[in-house]
């Protein structure tokens, strides 16, 4: 008996591993070092700016220094919780999982209906893009605030703030391009689940031809997709929040 080929285990961020699974692709591990990849992503003007930030004279510490404290920690926690809540409570992603047990009973006793072939991915794509924009705006603002605080602490931390600003400018467009491809990958996953449900109903029709009623369609596939989409959004949030976590670590250490 032939065994299905096993996909190689992929390391790296949860977002990459999750997308590889949902897209049903075998992603090879990159053999390039981080330095090699950065050399391809940074333009020559970005490279000059980064070199100046790393090798030049440390920037002067900005005036009005204030100690890093609980307020900044709480603000970072508040922003992250707010974004998680927006993903978890989004009405488009909630679907039938929000309906109570009485509604469940009603669905179980509902008349048998055909698959809704009009279910469209476009509405999910729009919501994903809107939530991405919310993440980018909120995290970008938070990152800027933390850099401003770093610049008031010490020359080494002021240098780190400059380096982070350079990296954000240099890699921002590439980040938007890469993360902008995620809705397309999810679209393929959506269509595969939808087609799978259509096949299930067609097979039920073929084996129950004596029954004039159409087989009962299920929205379980759609709820599964909603759950997957939320998982991808939360994994993307983790990736987007990494620079903030790095700045927080530097502030905690000072």
Q: Are 230 and 87 in contact (CB under 8 A)?
A: yes
The reported pLDDT for the residue numbered 126 is 94
Q: Which of 101-115, 216-230, 231-245 has the highest mean pLDDT?
A: 231-245
pLDDT at residue 109 greater than cutoff 50: no
pLDDT at residue 127 greater than cutoff 80: yes
Q: Say which residue, 197 or 4, is predicted with more confidence.
A: 197
Q: What is the pTM of this model?
A: 0.81
On average, the pLDDT of the chain sits at 81
Sorting pLDDT into bands at 50, 70 and 90, what band is 102? Answer: very low
What are the domain boundaries of the chain?
Answer: 33-98+116-253
Q: Say which residue, 160 or 103, is predicted with more confidence.
A: 160
The reported pLDDT for the residue numbered 175 is 92
pLDDT at residue 182 greater than cutoff 90: yes
Sorting pLDDT into bands at 50, 70 and 90, what band is 41? Answer: confident
């Amino acid at each position: 008996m032939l065994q299905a080929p096993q996909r190689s285990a992929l390391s790296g961020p949860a977002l990459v591993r999750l997308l590889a699974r949902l897209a049903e692709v075998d992603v090879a591990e990159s053999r390039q070092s981080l330095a090699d990849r950065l050399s391809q992503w940074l333009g020559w003007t970005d490279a000059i700016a980064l070199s100046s930030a790393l090798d030049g004279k440390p920037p002067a510490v900005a005036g009005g220094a204030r100690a890093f404290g609980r307020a900044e920690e709480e603000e970072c926690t508040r922003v992250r919780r707010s974004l998680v809540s927006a993903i978890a409570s989004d009405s488009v992603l909630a679907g039938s999982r929000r309906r109570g047990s009485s509604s469940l009973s009603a669905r179980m006793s509902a008349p048998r209906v055909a698959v809704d072939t009009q279910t469209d991915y476009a509405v999910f794509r729009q919501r994903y893009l809107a939530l991405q924009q919310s993440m980018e705006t909120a995290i970008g603002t938070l990152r800027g605030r933390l850099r401003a605080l770093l610049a008031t602490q010490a020359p080494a931390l002021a240098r780190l703030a400059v380096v982070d600003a350079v990296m954000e400018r240099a890699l921002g467009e590439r980040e938007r391009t890469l993360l902008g491809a995620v809705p397309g990958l999810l679209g393929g996953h959506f269509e595969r689940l939808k087609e799978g449900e259509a096949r299930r109903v067609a097979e039920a029709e073929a084996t129950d031809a004596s029954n004039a009623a159409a087989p009962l369609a299920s929205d379980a596939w759609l709820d599964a997709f909603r759950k997957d989409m939320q998982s991808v959004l939360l994994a993307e949030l983790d990736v987007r929040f990494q620079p903030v976590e790095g700045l927080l670590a530097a502030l905690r250490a000072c």
